[in-house]
């Protein structure tokens, strides 16, 4: 099986070098490595071309975000299997090999992820029970939080033909939004080994720079419902999760005195309820608000 590795990056020259090195040290060598530079200004291009002249380097014409960078990499990829690696993460040396063995044993999986090592501020931390990883069909657990790390994934290109690409309108939780579409249509393979190393705590980490991440998860579920991507039991669970997250975010806004945002989110919830009621006659939304 042929594999393209896609590494999106933005102003992470030193971290990127370590990420690329971890790919080059794989026991199962990928067929190509594509670095998609999201218009960096820190000398990323020079570093890649000097130190890694054999890999493909693509520079976006302006800063568009990680979703756009990953999408460009997907479209440029020459091979049927794509593996993502964020430029602040790394792989254990046998990561690809273990996933390839797994997929050969279980060829019905078109996407496969792994367990992870988490390091924050140079200290290894344990994952909580809520971060448990899954194999198979797990759309419903995925509604509450993102359970698939892009850096752990190998995915067949045909999945994007089926469910679409990363939504470039999402500046954050773009992975959560895509995995909701994927897990509602595909079972997901899982290698229960810590093969992906995720680093946290650095200043440019998106989860640190974006406030109100729950708001964006609400928007992702809202999009899923309004696009009629899911029906029946999945739809019921999606709205149930939406309502719980809505209350958490609304209460947070009220406590912080952010009344304008509270009013906006209340309005969006009413519009979503109205949308569901309008479509209950079709049967697709039957019972959701009953």
Q: Is residue 114, in this structure, part of any structural domain at all?
A: yes
Contact 153, 84 (CB under 8 A): yes
Q: Is residue 40, in this structure, part of any structural domain at all?
A: yes
Q: How far is CA 215 from the centre of its chain?
A: 16
Give yes or no: residues 111 and 220 share one domain. no
pLDDT greater than 60 at residue 162? yes
Which residues form the domain of 223?
213-282
Phi, psi of 96 (to 5 degrees): -65, -40
Give yes or no: residues 59 and 81 share one domain. yes
Q: Distance between CA 18 and CA 22 in Å, rounded?
A: 6
Give yes or no: residues 218 and 188 share one domain. no
How many other β-carbons are positioned within 10 Å of the β-carbon of residue 180?
Answer: 25
| pLDDT tens digits along 223-237 | 999 999 999 999 999
Q: What is the number of alpha carbons within 13 Å of residue 286 lying toward its C-beta?
A: 5
Q: Please give the DSSP secondary-structure letter assigned to residue 5.
A: E
In percent, how much of the chain has pLDDT > 70? 93
Q: Distance between CA 257 and CA 253 in Å, rounded?
A: 6
For 67, the token pair is 């979703």
Cα dihedral 89, 92, 95, 97, rounded to 10, equals: 140
pLDDT greater than 90 at residue 240? yes
In percent, how much of the chain has pLDDT > 90? 88
Instruction: Please enumerate in sequence order all residues whose Cβ is within 8 A of that of 160, keeping only pairs 6 or more positions apart, or say none.
Output: 74
Cα dihedral 235, 240, 182, 110, rounded to 10, equals: -100
Last residue of a domain, one of 187, 209, 231: 209
Q: What is the domain count for the chain?
A: 2
Q: Is residue 92, in this structure, part of any structural domain at all?
A: yes
Give yes or no: residues 239 and 182 share one domain. no
Q: Is residue 71, in this structure, part of any structural domain at all?
A: yes
pLDDT greater than 70 at residue 286? no
What is the reported pLDDT for 280?
A: 73
For 169, the token pair is 């309108």
Q: Is residue 289, in this structure, part of any structural domain at all?
A: no
Q: Is residue 175, in this structure, part of any structural domain at all?
A: yes
| Residue located via tokens 């946290």 | 200
Contact 34, 5 (CB under 8 A): yes
Q: What's the CATH number where 187 sits? A: 3.90.550.10
Give yes or no: residues 57 and 87 share one domain. yes
Q: Distance between CA 99 and CA 95 in Å, rounded?
A: 6
| pLDDT tens digits along 256-272 | 999 999 999 999 999 99
| pLDDT tens digits along 180-216 | 999 999 999 999 999 999 998 766 655 544 457 999 9
Q: Distance between CA 285 and CA 265 in Å, rounded?
A: 21
pLDDT greater than 60 at residue 289? no
| Residue located via tokens 């992870």 | 116
Give yes or no: residues 220 and 266 share one domain. yes
Last residue of a domain, one of 166, 188, 209: 209
Last residue of a domain, one of 209, 233, 263: 209
Give yes or no: residues 273 and 185 share one domain. no
pLDDT greater than 50 at residue 115? yes
- E-assigned strand segments in the chain: 3-9, 32-37, 56-59, 81-84, 90-91, 111-120, 123-125, 154-156, 189-200
Give the sign of the dihedral formed by CA 210, CA 215, CA 221, CA 227: negative
Give yes or no: residues 141 and 202 share one domain. yes
Q: Distance between CA 145 and CA 248 in Å, rounded?
A: 14
């Amino acid at each position: 099986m042929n594999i393209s590795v896609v590494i999106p990056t933005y102003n992470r020259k030193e971290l990127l070098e370590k990420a690329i090195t971890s790919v080059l040290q794989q026991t199962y060598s990928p067929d190509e490595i594509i670095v998609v530079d999201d218009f960096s200004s820190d000398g990323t291009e020079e570093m890649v071309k000097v130190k890694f002249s054999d890999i493909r380097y693509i520079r976006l014409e302006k800063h568009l975000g990680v979703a756009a960078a990953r999408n460009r990499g997907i479209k440029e990829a020459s091979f049927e299997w794509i593996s993502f690696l964020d430029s602040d993460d790394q792989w254990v040396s046998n990561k690809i090999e273990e996933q390839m063995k797994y997929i050969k044993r279980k060829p019905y999986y078109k996407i496969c992820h792994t367990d992870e090592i988490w390091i924050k501020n140079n200290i290894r931390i344990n994952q909580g029970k809520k971060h448990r990883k899954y194999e198979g069909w797990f759309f419903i657990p995925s509604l509450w939080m993102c359970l698939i790390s892009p850096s752990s994934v190998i995915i067949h290109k045909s999945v994007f033909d089926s469910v679409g690409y990363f939504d470039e309108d999402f500046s954050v939780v773009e992975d959560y939004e895509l995995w909701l579409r994927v897990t509602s249509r595909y079972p997901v393979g899982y290698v229960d080994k810590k093969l992906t190393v995720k680093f946290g705590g650095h200043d440019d980490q998106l989860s640190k720079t974006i406030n109100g991440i729950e708001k964006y998860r609400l928007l992702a579920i809202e999009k899923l419902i309004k696009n009629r991507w899911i029906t029946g039991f999945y739809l019921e669970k999606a709205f149930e999760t939406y309502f719980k997250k809505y209350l958490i975010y609304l209460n947070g806004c009220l406590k912080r005195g952010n009344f304008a945002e509270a009013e906006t989110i209340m309005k969006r919830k009413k519009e979503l309820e109205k949308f569901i009621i309008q479509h209950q006659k079709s049967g697709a939304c039957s019972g959701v608000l009953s």
